[in-house]
Amino acid sequence: MAPPEPARDRRPDPRSRQAVLRAVKYLGQHRLDTAGALISLLLVAAANLAAPQVVRVAVDRGLAVRDWSVVELAVAGLLAIAVVRGLLTFLQGFLAERASQGVAFDLRDGLYARIQKLSFSYYDQAQTGNLLTRLTNDVEQVRTFVGSGVVQLAASLAMLLGTIVVLVRINAVLALAALGTVVPIFFVLRRFVKRVGPLFGQVQQSLGKLNTQLQESLQGLKVVRAFRGEARELAAYSAINDTLRDQNLESIKAISNSFPFVNLFANLGTVAVVGVGGVQIFRDQLTLGELVAFNSSMAFLLMPLISIGFLAAQISRAGASAVRVFELLDTPLELTDAPNARVLPPLQGKVEFRDVVFRYAGAEAPILKGISFTIEPGQTVALLGATGSGKSTIINLIPRFYDVTSGAVLVDGQDVRELTLASLRSQVGIVLQEALLFSGTVKSNIAWGRPDATLEQVKAAAVAAQAAGFIEALPQGYDTLIGEKGVGLSGGQRQRLAIARALLTDPRLLILDDSTSAVDAETERAIQRALDALMRDTKKTAFVIAQRLSTVRDADLILLLDQGRIVAQGTHAELTATSSLYNEILGTQLKGEGGAP
Amino acid sequence: MRRPGSLESMAETEVQRARDRAGVTRRLLLELRPFVRPLVAALGFVTISAVGQSVAPWLVGHAIDHDIAHGDGRALAITMTVLLLVYVASAFSQRAQSRLIGGTGQRVLANLRVRLFSQLQALPISYFDTRPLGDLMSRLQGDVDTLNQLFAQGLTQLLGQLLALVGILVAMLVLDWKLALASFTIIPVMLGVTAFFAARARAAYRKTRETTGKVSADLQEGIVGIREAQAFNRTAENLARFRERNAANRDANVSATGITSAFSPAIDVLSTVGTALVIGFGGWLMLNGELSLGTLVAFLIYVQQFFRPVQLAASVYTLAQSALAGSERLFAVLDAQVEVKDAAGATVLGQVEGRLTFEHVSFAYDATRPVLSDVSFEAPAGSMVALVGRTGAGKTTIANLVPRFYEVTQGRVLLDGHDLTTVTRSSLRAQLALVPQEPFLFSTSLAENIAYGRPDATREQVEGAARTVGLHDFIVTLPKGYDTVLGEGGGLLSQGQRQLVAFARAVLADPRVLILDEATANIDTRTEALIQKALSTLLAGRTSLVIAHRLSTIRSATLILVVDGGRIVERGTHDELLAKGGRYAELHGQQFADGPAAQRVRAST
Ligand SMILES: Nc1ncnc2c1ncn2[C@@H]1O[C@H](COP(=O)(O)OP(=O)(O)OP(=O)(O)O)[C@@H](O)[C@H]1O
Ligand SMILES: Nc1ncnc2c1ncn2[C@@H]1O[C@H](COP(=O)(O)OP(=O)(O)OP(=O)(O)O)[C@@H](O)[C@H]1O
Ligand SMILES: [Mg+2]
């Protein structure tokens, strides 16, 4: 039941402080708004302090001596102050918010630009949920603090000082009595901040975990059911839920241990002021009006204190968020255009691997161990090899999704690292093994790589990919909405859309990574025939990865891969004559002596 | 940190009304039933602090009018002591009250969350077919969150404040009814102003919610689809589109702010008008000798105190509306029909032989479009039955009926002669294992993923299963071996390796009936052959239902069923079907079109 005692760090994290400062500097871009907000705010503070003075005048010079004209003046004065103060408060709030929205825009813009440029190796490790949180929650935390927080902090401090000055000027003795109650308030709030700051973070974390657990158990619904994991999923969820509840109860405790007592001490101020003030009035050291005004001004002592307390709790949260935001913003880009990168002229289609060695970041052993081959323009090349032998890895090196560890990948004789990424990738069409569709229409998905394509061009691509038939059978044809990950389409249908998408970009070099695995043999053959015609006519170079013999048989060159090395290469005829491994693979497909259960 | 009662907190919660407000309220109250005692206690404390809050200013007025005006030091001391006691009592009862109410709220919520979760685990799969996961998740989260807000802000703060308001109003009336009534004229004005702003703010926030939704959708696609974006060289376009939406979101927020930042100054002006009113009218009364200065001071305190509760009440009203609407949806989830309950008297299915029979089975996902019609076949115990046919023919659907993911519309499915509807689901599923078309991996360790169906398996058993599917040698090359934690969706594994993990999971579950839905589509044929060899000993005597597009996978099946348009159009062994020269032979011809090359291979091996 007892929640784990949070590791409380007494000293504020220096990283967090730096990050907060850096976030505050973003306000520099929105100087005018910030300055306007600050000025309005100081004026508001002044107006706030002036109002009780008017009340005092009304009581002392008007009501006490029964001078009605003074009362009238005071009422008019109060209203005038209220209107001016209202306008200024509006300006202050509006300008501060506008500045903070500007900061949020800048941060998000920078972050988005960064995530678009980060390489595949970054995403191999990254978690979608985590990245999304940084771009949404964390930015929002920073924004709230930078906007209202900074301005409010300044306002509260100004208010606090101003109030103290006013109180001291009305009556120093009373002021001392009032300030006496501020000291315990300060301690109560400090304890609150220390306790609640980290707790907020923990609650946030637990919520994240809870949602991840829910999401995974629903995504894997069928697996959970088939393997009767319901009870275990529930137990895992309950455990996180219990932690969350306990953390929430903890926060409630911390809040209930603080704010009633802040109020109490503030109220004690009233007791002290009325008590001491009463005695002073007996001795004619104070007027009734002053006592009343004093009492009203005391409220202005409490408000900024509570605000500062809340803000201090917020700073620790905003700090943690700012650290995460800047961490992403500062992630080095591993793959960028070289300083003197050339633009790749229209591609002929020659591809060469020169003794390529490749190791995934974080892995111990290289996956590709010295790969060399040359493809002439217009050739169709098939990559064949066992699961995990490195086929996808090889083709990922051509559009430079990863950089080789050693050796070189060349297209048309130029090292891909010396070309601009944009000019290289725009001429390479690729259908990834796990093709992802986007929410939108069928048409917008096919035209994804070439948004300006006409409907005719889209249709032509769909026909070549053997997708036109089923698309036309859909309720709204090419305008049918399909969801994220292509909900509503069967595996084979999704793959065909992905092929159409790649074909539409009219690439000089086409790469298909096991793109027809979910398609039945008949459809696959049709796709192949269409592709063949397309390739031969336009002399495109193509890389095809497939497990089915029928797919690879007609290739101009077959590369046989085993454990990161090319163990044989040649045409189908050559390989059947020379490679025992190739024959073994053929055997498993043609003879089917699998000895299945 | 949004303060309750702020215009933002009012406007951000979409006004939604529950259809059956009374019913939902009743059910929400039922949820509170186990917590009657703490709540009653809390009510007591609320009363104490409310009384305290309304008595205190009166005491201050009394001190000024009587004690200070009469120069009575002793009386002043007594009044001050009483005031002190009142304040202390209020503070402690505030503390107790916020713990009791807040604590109850959190417990109710925690309870509700677990019930929702277990309900989701029990709903039929078809429930999720029509509800995209993203929507479902965000709605559940949102609805639970509005309830949380109601409990955390609304109830704890409002209850006390409202009682205090009543106390304040009563005290004012008692002190001086004329001045009280004059002061009350501010209340309707204030409510009107609040309503005016709230309506405008709500429209503005609808816009921000829309733009925020677009920004989030963009972010999500930008991250999930990053590989495609880079492959299709679309990053610059994505950034431009995002910038546009990001700017629209900023502008919507700024214009919403224009409204919300005008609200509190407006209220502030009103509150000053209230003060001025008290001073003006009160002063006039005083000059006429109808009012004492002390009462006037007390009124000044009261007037400033009643603004907050009134504002709060308005905001909590909106909050409560949304919470009711949210609860209605949550209750709808809780009330949704769970997987058809095991029939009364359903028996626990013991160890079966594995004879699987479909008897005239028809099925439709939705009533308008039949997917399977009159499917009948029998898989003898220990046989391998293969389903082939075009995409969308209904193969996966047939497989889905065996673990009772869906219930047949007509006909029966039997295991060892037991109608599946007469046995408990859990005992049925204990006999089956499934490798789905798209392997799903949890973001836990490799070992935990493999042992998902049998969490008590020893490491040796896990390794055995990995060996069977040919994955062991690969796993041991990983720095952390079986304890390697998989990233989202399996990360760092090749596509085929992911399928192998799912396969190993099924093997370890040690089923009597194994269902393989394209389990080897991404796996090369040589590895597949090795798996089959290993399986043949391991699964000897067990029944398997295999779906494959690659015909080499199923060539040795005991029975091949060719599915087309939801019917079984051909059945027999590979040789029988080839000899028959029908649909299967046609499919086979396409895959193994006996070109000269293939002929040569046959000849040479
Ligand atoms: N959850 C569902 N709700 C409604 N219709 C569905 C659902 N799942 C599948 N269908 C439809 O039922 C039909 C049969 O689908 P099924 O998944 O069984 O095909 P399949 O033969 O397994 O195809 P594939 O080879 O692509 O896996 C298709 O027309 C499909 O659109
Ligand atoms: N992002 C990654 N980080 C670390 N290791 C990886 C990563 N991606 C793949 N690997 C490893 O690299 C090896 C080769 O993977 P690759 O995806 O190239 O195989 P493949 O030949 O395409 O296999 P398949 O036929 O199953 O798709 C595998 O052992 C895999 O586990
Ligand atoms: Mg691959």
Domain termination site, one of A484, A506, A528: A506
Average pLDDT score over residue span A526-551: 79
Q: How close, in Å, is residue A573 to chain B by CA atoms?
A: 7
Task: List the beta bridge partners of residue B501.
Answer: none
Percent of chain A with pLDDT over 90: 17
Residue with tokens 């498993």: A588
Q: Which residues of A touch B356 (CB under 8 A)?
A: none
Residue whose C-alpha is closest to residue A406's, from A357, A351, A367: A357
* Tokens encoding B364: 């439709």
Residues A493 and A514 occupy one common structural domain? no
- Examine residue B444 and state whether it is found in any structural domain, yes or no: yes
- What is the rounded distance in angstroms from the CA atom of residue B270 to the CA atom of residue B510? 75
Using alpha carbons, list the distances in angstroms from residue A522 to B161, B192, B393.
74, 71, 13
Residues A482 and A515 occupy one common structural domain? no
* Tokens encoding B351: 């160890």
- For residue A68, the tally of other CB atoms under 10 A from its CB is 13
What's the pLDDT score for residue A178?
82
B60, B269, B300: best to mutate for the A interface, most A CBs within 10 A: B269
- pLDDT tens-digit series, residues B418-432: 898 888 888 888 888
- What is the rounded distance in angstroms from the CA atom of residue A300 to the CA atom of residue A179? 12
- For residue B260, the tally of other CB atoms under 10 A from its CB is 24
| B287 in reach of chain A (CB within 8 A) | yes
Q: Which amino acid is at A430?
A: I
Residues A64 and A141 occupy one common structural domain? yes
Residues B556 and B591 occupy one common structural domain? no
Residues A221 and A298 occupy one common structural domain? yes
**CA A231 – ligand 1 centroid, Å:** 29
Contact: B231, A425; criterion CB under 8 Å: yes
> Which CATH number covers residue A491?
3.40.50.300
- What is the rounded distance in angstroms from the CA atom of residue B124 to the CA atom of residue B414? 20
Residue B373 Cβ contacting ligand 1 at under 6 Å: no
- Examine residue A9 and state whether it is found in any structural domain, yes or no: no
The closest ligand to the CA of A432 turns out to be 3
Q: Hey, what's the torsion of the CAs at B452, B456, B459, B461, to 10 degrees?
A: -80
Helix (H) or strand (E) holding B95: helix B73-122
Phi and psi torsions of A261, nearest 5°: -80, -30
Task: List the beta bridge partners of residue A381.
Answer: A543, A557
Contact: A401, B231; criterion CB under 8 Å: yes
What's the pLDDT score for residue A241?
93
CA–chain centroid gap for B248, Å, is 28
Q: Hey, what's the torsion of the CAs at A459, A461, A467, A471, to 10 degrees?
A: -30
**CA A360 – ligand 2 centroid, Å:** 9
- pLDDT tens-digit series, residues A383-399: 988 888 899 899 999 98
What's the pLDDT score for residue B385?
92
Residues B592 and B476 occupy one common structural domain? no
Phi and psi torsions of A516, nearest 5°: -125, 20
Strands (E), B350-499: 356-366, 369-379, 384-388, 410-415, 418-419, 432-435
- Examine residue B260 and state whether it is found in any structural domain, yes or no: yes
Residues B179 and B285 occupy one common structural domain? yes
Residues B557 and B475 occupy one common structural domain? no
Residue A338 has pLDDT above 90, yes or no: no
Range of the domain at A120: 16-329
Average pLDDT score over residue span A108-122: 90
Contact: A89, B264; criterion CB under 8 Å: yes
Domain termination site, one of A263, A297, A329: A329
What's the pLDDT score for residue A411?
92
Phi and psi torsions of B478, nearest 5°: -75, 140
3-state secondary structure of A51: helix
Residues A185 and A232 occupy one common structural domain? yes
Residues B151 and B277 occupy one common structural domain? yes
Q: Which residues of B touch A233 (CB under 8 A)?
A: 117, 121
**CA A482 – ligand 2 centroid, Å:** 29
Low-confidence ranges of chain B (pLDDT < 70): 1-19, 132, 134-135, 138, 152-157, 308, 311, 314-315, 318, 339-344, 489, 538-539, 591-605
- What is the rounded distance in angstroms from the CA atom of residue A566 to the CA atom of residue A70? 100
Residue whose C-alpha is closest to residue A211's, from B333, B448, B113: B113
3-state secondary structure of B468: helix
Q: Which residues of B touch A279 (CB under 8 A)?
A: 73, 76
Contact: B103, A252; criterion CB under 8 Å: yes
What's the pLDDT score for residue A368?
93
Residues A216 and A99 occupy one common structural domain? yes
Per DSSP bridges, beta strands A351-358 and A541-545 are unpaired
Phi and psi torsions of B516, nearest 5°: -115, 110
Residue A82 confidence class, pLDDT cut points 50, 70, 90:
confident
Residues B227 and B313 occupy one common structural domain? yes
Domain termination site, one of A301, A329, A357: A329
- Plot region of B18 (φ>0 → left; ψ -120 to 50 → alpha; else → beta): beta
- Work out which ligand 2 atom sits closest to the CA atom of A390: 18
| B512 in reach of chain A (CB within 8 A) | no
Contact (CB, 8 A) for A199 and A251: yes
A68, A75, A387: best to mutate for the B interface, most B CBs within 10 A: A387
Residues A372 and A268 occupy one common structural domain? no
A538 CB burial (10 A radius; 0-12, 13-18, 19+) = exposed
- What is the rounded distance in angstroms from the CA atom of residue B354 to the CA atom of residue B348? 15
The ipTM assigned to this model is: 0.81
- Examine residue B340 and state whether it is found in any structural domain, yes or no: no
- Examine residue B344 and state whether it is found in any structural domain, yes or no: no
3-state secondary structure of B268: helix
- What is the rounded distance in angstroms from the CA atom of residue B481 to the CA atom of residue B257? 54
Residue A131 has pLDDT above 90, yes or no: no
Residue whose C-alpha is closest to residue A102's, from B174, B64, B253: B253
- What is the rounded distance in angstroms from the CA atom of residue A241 to the CA atom of residue A210? 7
Residue A487 has pLDDT above 90, yes or no: no
Average pLDDT score over residue span A22-47: 88
What's the pLDDT score for residue A307?
80
Q: Between A31-57 and A68-117, two packed helices, what is the crossing angle to 10 degrees?
A: 160
Between A97, A274, A288, which is nearest B293 by CB? A288
Question: Which residues, other chains included, contact A357 with Cβ-Cβ below 8 Å and sequence gap of 6+?
Answer: A366, A368, A369, A370, A371, A404, A405, A406, A407
> Which CATH number covers residue B485?
3.40.50.300
Between A248, A388, A490, which is nearest B106 by CB? A248
What's the pLDDT score for residue B155?
67
Residues B485 and B600 occupy one common structural domain? no
Residues A408 and A497 occupy one common structural domain? no
Residue B484 Cβ contacting ligand 2 at under 6 Å: no
Residue A425 Cβ contacting ligand 2 at under 6 Å: no
Q: How close, in Å, is residue A570 to chain B by CA atoms?
A: 14
Average pLDDT score over residue span A522-527: 77
Phi and psi torsions of B124, nearest 5°: -65, 155
Phi and psi torsions of A561, nearest 5°: -110, 140
- For residue A455, the tally of other CB atoms under 10 A from its CB is 12
| B365 in reach of chain A (CB within 8 A) | no
Q: Which residues of A touch B390 (CB under 8 A)?
A: 520, 522-523
Angle subtended at Cα B586 by Cα B580 and Cα B591, rounded to the nearest 5 degrees? 130
Residue A13 confidence class, pLDDT cut points 50, 70, 90:
low
Contact: A451, B269; criterion CB under 8 Å: no
- Examine residue B2 and state whether it is found in any structural domain, yes or no: no
Chains A and B form CB pairs within 8 A to the count of 514
Q: What is the domain count for chain B?
A: 4
Residues A235 and A354 occupy one common structural domain? no
Residues B125 and B234 occupy one common structural domain? yes
- Examine residue A11 and state whether it is found in any structural domain, yes or no: no
Residues B564 and B578 occupy one common structural domain? no
Using alpha carbons, list the distances in angstroms from residue A192 to A187, A474, B5, B361, B575.
9, 60, 22, 66, 80
- Examine residue A502 and state whether it is found in any structural domain, yes or no: yes
- What is the rounded distance in angstroms from the CA atom of residue A458 to the CA atom of residue A157? 63
B332 CB burial (10 A radius; 0-12, 13-18, 19+) = exposed
Residues B329 and B397 occupy one common structural domain? no
Query: If you average pLDDT over every residue of chain A, what do you get?
Result: 83
Average pLDDT score over residue span A259-280: 83
How many Cα atoms are found within 13 Å in the side-chain-facing hemisphere of A250?
22
Using alpha carbons, list the distances in angstroms from residue A361 to A25, B210, B461.
35, 40, 31
Residues A487 and A382 occupy one common structural domain? no
Contact: A245, B107; criterion CB under 8 Å: yes
Angle subtended at Cα A299 by Cα A295 and Cα A301, rounded to the nearest 5 degrees? 110
The closest ligand to the CA of A474 turns out to be 1
What's the pLDDT score for residue B605?
35
- Specify the DSSP class assigned to residue B338: P
Q: Which of A260-264, A402-406, B422-426 has the highest mean pLDDT?
A: A402-406
Phi and psi torsions of A489, nearest 5°: -115, 150
Residues B144 and B51 occupy one common structural domain? yes
Contact: B597, A576; criterion CB under 8 Å: yes
- Examine residue A527 and state whether it is found in any structural domain, yes or no: no
* Tokens encoding A281: 């009035």
Contact (CB, 8 A) for B404 and B434: no
Q: How close, in Å, is residue A7 to chain B by CA atoms?
A: 24
- What is the rounded distance in angstroms from the CA atom of residue B125 to the CA atom of residue B109? 26
Helix (H) or strand (E) holding A381: strand A380-385
Q: Which residues of B touch A250 (CB under 8 A)?
A: none
How many Cα atoms are found within 13 Å in the side-chain-facing hemisphere of A197?
27
Domain termination site, one of B335, B362, B395: B335
Domain termination site, one of B307, B335, B363: B335
Residue A124 Cβ contacting ligand 2 at under 6 Å: yes
Contact: B80, A218; criterion CB under 8 Å: no
- From edge to edge, which strands make up the β-sheet containing B513-517? B432-435, B513-517, B543-547, B384-388, B559-564, B567-572
Residue A590 has pLDDT above 70, yes or no: no
- What is the rounded distance in angstroms from the CA atom of residue A130 to the CA atom of residue A217? 18
- Work out which ligand 1 atom sits closest to the CA atom of B126: 1
Average pLDDT score over residue span A138-165: 83
Contact (CB, 8 A) for B495 and A514: yes
Residue B437 Cβ contacting ligand 1 at under 6 Å: yes
Q: Which of B446, B469, B497, B528 to mutate to test the pocket of ligand 2 (most atoms within 8 A of CB)?
A: B497
- pLDDT tens-digit series, residues A162-210: 888 888 888 888 888 888 888 888 888 888 888 877 787 788 788 878 8
Counting every residue, how long is chain B?
605
Residue A550 confidence class, pLDDT cut points 50, 70, 90:
confident
Residues A483 and A364 occupy one common structural domain? no
Contact (CB, 8 A) for A301 and A52: no
What's the pLDDT score for residue B402?
92
What's the pLDDT score for residue B16?
56
Strands (E), B272-388: 356-366, 369-379, 384-388
What's the pLDDT score for residue B18?
62
- Examine residue B532 and state whether it is found in any structural domain, yes or no: no
Residues A102 and A39 occupy one common structural domain? yes
- Examine residue B535 and state whether it is found in any structural domain, yes or no: no
* Tokens encoding B235: 């990053």
- What is the rounded distance in angstroms from the CA atom of residue A548 to the CA atom of residue B524? 8
Range of the domain at B129: 9-335
- Examine residue A263 and state whether it is found in any structural domain, yes or no: yes
Residue A35 has pLDDT above 80, yes or no: yes
Helix (H) or strand (E) holding B367: none
> Which CATH number covers residue A70?
1.20.1560.10
Q: Which of A262-276, A508-522, B558-572 has the highest mean pLDDT?
A: B558-572
* Tokens encoding B182: 């004059």
Residues B413 and B483 occupy one common structural domain? no
What's the pLDDT score for residue A70?
81
Please list, residue by residue across A468-505, b when 16 or more beta carbons sit within 10 angstroms of its beta carbon and e when fewer do: bebbeebeeebeeebbbbbeebbbbbbbbbbbbbbbbb
Between B71, B243, B523, which is nearest A387 by CB? B523
Contact: B120, A217; criterion CB under 8 Å: yes
- What is the rounded distance in angstroms from the CA atom of residue B202 to the CA atom of residue A351? 59
What's the pLDDT score for residue B592?
63
- Examine residue B565 and state whether it is found in any structural domain, yes or no: yes
Contact (CB, 8 A) for A402 and A396: yes
Residue A314 has pLDDT above 80, yes or no: no
**CA B523 – ligand 1 centroid, Å:** 23
Q: Which amino acid is at B101?
A: I
Residue B304 Cβ contacting ligand 2 at under 6 Å: no
